[in-house]
Amino acid sequence: MNTPPPAPPSTAHLALPFFDDAHRALARGLLPWAAAQDVDESDDRAACRDWVRRLGEGGWLRYCVPAASGGALERLDSRALVLLRETLAYHSPLADFAFAMQGLGSGAITLAGSPEQQAAYLPAVANGSKIAAFALSEPNAGSDVGAMAMRADATPDGWKLDGTKTWISNGGIADFYCTFAKTDPTGGTRGITAFIVDATSPGLDTSGHIHVMAPHPLATLKFNDCNVPRTAQLGDLHGGFKLAMRTLDIFRASVAAAALGMARRALAEAVAHAQRRQMFGHSLGEFQLTQAKLGDMAALVDAAALLTYRAAWMRDESERTGQKPSGDLTTAAAMAKMTATENAQRVIDMALQLHGGLGVQVGTKVESLYRDIRSLRIYEGATEVQQLIIGKSVLKHA
């Protein structure tokens, strides 16, 4: 569609006390860069590689790793991740996906990697020369991680991995996979260990591409007598579950930010359409029913934003001070993820409805956003999982 783009996004939220001057400078620098990019996304795998290259060359992937490994900041900063993902998702959900997976796919190495592992992978993640992936889910082990069936058995030279991972983002294009497997089959979540598996490892098949409604690289991975060296073990033996959860906790608030960016774009598209569209001699925006819908959308966006920024700020303050925050970080992140993704779905649906028939025409922005947002309510913890986390916390602190 050749409709003009909406006005540039507002930066008013940067004045909120959750952010400092470094965050504001980051966001204001990213806005014009993101708006200037023009990537052909008709082939999602080629486009994802292109986005990783561009993000690396632009210096934005440096926020995915700490300064000691070529990163922009001393440690992973949740507020920086939130602002980056919100802005990227506003312009291109696939750009956000490419950025996020560099961080999530390498996060376990940042948290628990040996100096040798960090040196081998993190600088390449930061400059975009290596694409990362996070391999946790299995056909029968999604939210129930303890049901994991993939095995890792010790060998004289290292480890032999056997099993299947599925719904793996960047599957088939990644250069390495942070992979989780049972090293104690009877240990439940306490019997899981993490490994770094290079894409070239013999016995690893990444060809099982998965096609979804909002195209992005996904695959089923098959490990068949996949031998890796002993140095591939990542973190402590049987410490994989805690490592996976720590990694997800860092990035959960940033999932909320991605949804927030999409919601902001949908609202901007709705406002622009309401101002352009003429009906019965008036612009669509002059009708009170339209104004009421836009008001509802704006409130939903701001509610999600405040919870998202709070969760990121709480984590950063905890890291900075080394003290336990007054609130529960996991619960705050769950509230942000649940609210932002659910609110974004509602905002995008209302924006599509406001567009009428144009809203369902392939090629319009709201049509693609409608497909893009749906998966965010599922991955990195479905809405129902977030509800359980929040509910248990409420009962615990009652």
Q: Residue 3 pLDDT > 80, yes or no? A: no
Q: Which residue, chain included where needed, has tokens 């009421």?
A: 292
Question: pTM for this one?
Answer: 0.94
Q: What is the pLDDT of residue 7?
A: 75
Which residues are known catalytic residues? 380
Task: Return the minimum-mean-pLDDT range out of 5-9, 142-146, 199-203, 309-313.
Answer: 5-9
Per-residue pLDDT of 134-175, as tens digits, reads 999 999 988 888 899 999 999 999 999 999 999 999 999 999
Residue 220: closest CA among 140, 115, 324, 333: 140
Q: What is the pLDDT of residue 325?
A: 62
Per-residue pLDDT of 185-196, as tens digits, reads 999 999 999 999
Per-residue pLDDT of 168-178, as tens digits, reads 999 999 999 99
Mean pLDDT along residues 288-307: 97
